[in-house]
């Protein structure tokens, strides 16, 4: 594996853990800022998710006008500075600004990684997408274990963002500038790509699907401790262990993606939707801790493999110059879903007579409907190929 591929895979660590790295130390952080309300303190975690959407929009607007390497390096630099800065700041508002800078940088870089992957042949691309999420998940678990086991103070936890400086150096050294094209070549390429008809209905379905999947899935890990306590199943420590197993399941599923894709072909996504729907329904029946752990891990695997499958599909149906824009919309749908998930859950529970269990059953029904729509898309795709 050459250094460019290794660098691209290192970028995946930023994408997976960039926002949630400091979640375990937020109780310490809040204790050092007693004048700040709990809601405002939580903004330290959620602020990057908001500014990340701005970064995605900026990246989509300039990606075909500015060298991708320059945009990428700017994004990583913002991520490093915004990530480390709170360790040296005592003003809460400045800490929020730095967290916003972190999100902006992540948004600038995320779509570009997909465009670099899209340049590789299909089978190689599938392996890279799978390894990307898998390595990111393992690194995420490792850094979180470091924070927990070493009992790091909150300022030291922010210093862990310094690891991303290594990613900056690798990107500077091993990501090449885009090759210069003559004006005539550029016109020919642009004409050929712009005349390609985009499957807008299919793209819209992917964005809507990943939004609903993530707005529902994100509720599971963020409320696991409350759900276990509510049903008298286990302690907060058990919730941490279940989350760890779920992270490992995400890594296993991601790394196995090329094999799963080869095994199921175009039916992989409908199968994933079916598995996800079943698991959401089963999660609404908290029989015992072992049962919930197994269901949680399968849900985590589903949440890892589905976005990889859709991203892979985007690189197949979009011309190269549109991949960054398509990826920006896709990533935006994921993070928007994560941001809205608490309100979505509250609405579902309120609608279903204050029953959390019934809400999970409803989530399963939504995912099943999405799977049915995807089956229709697969059948239409087969008809077109047969003609």
Residue 187 has pLDDT above 50, yes or no: no
Is residue 102 within 8 A of residue 48, CB to CB? The reply is: yes
Least confident of 93-107, 150-164, 175-189, 263-277: 175-189
SS (HEC) of 275-331: HHHHHHHHHCCCCCHHHHHHHHHHHHHHHHHHHHHHHHHHHHHCCHHHHHHHHHHHH
Q: Look at residue 170 in the predicted model and tell me its pLDDT.
A: 95
- The tens digit of pLDDT for each residue in 200-218 reads 888 999 999 999 999 998 8
> Which of the listed ranges 1-5, 145-149, 253-257 does the model predict with the highest average pLDDT?
253-257
Residue 192 has pLDDT above 50, yes or no: no
- Quick one: fold of 3-177? Growth Hormone; Chain: A; (1.20.1250)
Q: Look at residue 197 in the predicted model and tell me its pLDDT.
A: 65
Mean local confidence (pLDDT), 163-171: 93
- The tens digit of pLDDT for each residue in 36-92 reads 887 788 788 878 888 999 999 999 999 888 999 999 999 999 999 999 999 999 999
Residue 182 has pLDDT above 80, yes or no: no
Q: Which residues of 151-187 are buried (b: 16+ CB within 10 A; e: fewer)?
A: ebebeebbebbebbbebbebbeeebeeeeeeeeeeee
pTM of the full structure: 0.81
User: pLDDT > 90: what percent of the chain?
Assistant: 42
Mean local confidence (pLDDT), 266-275: 94
**Where does the pLDDT of residue 150 fall: very low under 50, low under 70, confident under 90, or very high at 90 and above?**
low
Mean local confidence (pLDDT), 254-281: 94
Q: Look at residue 7 in the predicted model and tell me its pLDDT.
A: 92
- The tens digit of pLDDT for each residue in 345-384 reads 888 888 876 788 888 999 999 999 999 999 999 898 888 7
Q: Look at residue 189 in the predicted model and tell me its pLDDT.
A: 46
The single residue listed with the structure tokens 């090449």 is 176
Question: What's the chain's average pLDDT?
Answer: 85
Identify the residue with better confidence: 153 or 145. 153
Q: Where in the chain is the domain with CATH 1.20.1250.20?
A: 3-177, 200-386
**Cβ-based neighbours of 136, under 8 Å, separated by 6 or more:** 12, 13, 15, 16, 17
Residue 198 has pLDDT above 80, yes or no: no
- Quick one: fold of 200-386? Growth Hormone; Chain: A; (1.20.1250)
Is residue 202 within 8 A of residue 381, CB to CB? The reply is: no
**Where does the pLDDT of residue 235 fall: very low under 50, low under 70, confident under 90, or very high at 90 and above?**
low
- The tens digit of pLDDT for each residue in 325-342 reads 899 999 889 888 877 887
**Where does the pLDDT of residue 179 fall: very low under 50, low under 70, confident under 90, or very high at 90 and above?**
confident
User: pLDDT > 70: what percent of the chain?
Assistant: 91
Q: Look at residue 148 in the predicted model and tell me its pLDDT.
A: 64
Residue 309 has pLDDT above 60, yes or no: yes
């Amino acid at each position: 594996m050459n250094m460019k591929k290794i660098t691209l895979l290192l970028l995946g660590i930023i994408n997976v853990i960039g926002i949630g790295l400091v979640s375990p130390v937020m109780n310490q952080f809040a204790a050092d800022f007693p004048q700040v309300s709990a809601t405002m303190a939580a903004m330290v975690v959620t602020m990057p998710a908001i500014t990340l959407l701005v970064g995605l929009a900026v990246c989509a607007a300039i990606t075909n006008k500015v060298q991708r390497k320059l945009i990428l390096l700017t994004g990583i630099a913002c991520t490093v500075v915004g990530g480390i800065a709170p360790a040296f700041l005592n003003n809460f508002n400045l800490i929020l600004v730095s967290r916003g800078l972190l999100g902006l940088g992540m948004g600038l870089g995320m779509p570009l990684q997909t465009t670099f992957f899209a340049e590789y042949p299909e089978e190689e691309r599938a392996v890279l997408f799978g390894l990307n999420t898998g390595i990111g998940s393992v690194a995420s678990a490792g850094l979180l274990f470091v924070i927990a086991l070493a009992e790091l103070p909150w300022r030291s936890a922010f210093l862990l963002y310094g690891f991303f400086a290594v990613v900056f150096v690798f990107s500077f050294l091993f990501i090449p500038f885009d090759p210069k094209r003559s004006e005539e070549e550029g016109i020919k390429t642009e004409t050929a790509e712009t005349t390609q008809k985009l499957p807008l209905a299919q793209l819209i379905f992917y964005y809507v699907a990943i939004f609903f999947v993530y707005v529902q899935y994100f509720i599971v890990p963020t409320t696991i401790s409350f759900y276990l306590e509510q049903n008298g199943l286990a302690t907060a420590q058990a919730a941490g262990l279940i989350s760890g197993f779920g992270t490992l399941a995400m890594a296993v599923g991601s790394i196995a993606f090329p094999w799963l894709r080869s095994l199921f072909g175009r039916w992989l996504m409908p199968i994933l939707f079916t598995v996800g729907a079943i698991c959401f329904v089963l999660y609404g029946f908290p029989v015992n801790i072992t049962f919930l752990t197994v269901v949680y891990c399968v849900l985590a695997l589903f949440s890892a493999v589905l976005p990889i499958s859709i991203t892979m599909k985007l690189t197949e149906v979009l011309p190269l110059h549109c991949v960054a824009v398509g990826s920006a919309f896709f990533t935006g749908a994921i993070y928007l879903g994560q941001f809205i998930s608490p309100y979505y859950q509250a609405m579902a529970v309120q609608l279903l007579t204050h029953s959390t269990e019934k809400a999970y059953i409803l989530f399963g029904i939504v995912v099943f409907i999405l799977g049915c729509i995807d089956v229709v898309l697969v059948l239409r795709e087969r008809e077109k190929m047969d003609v």
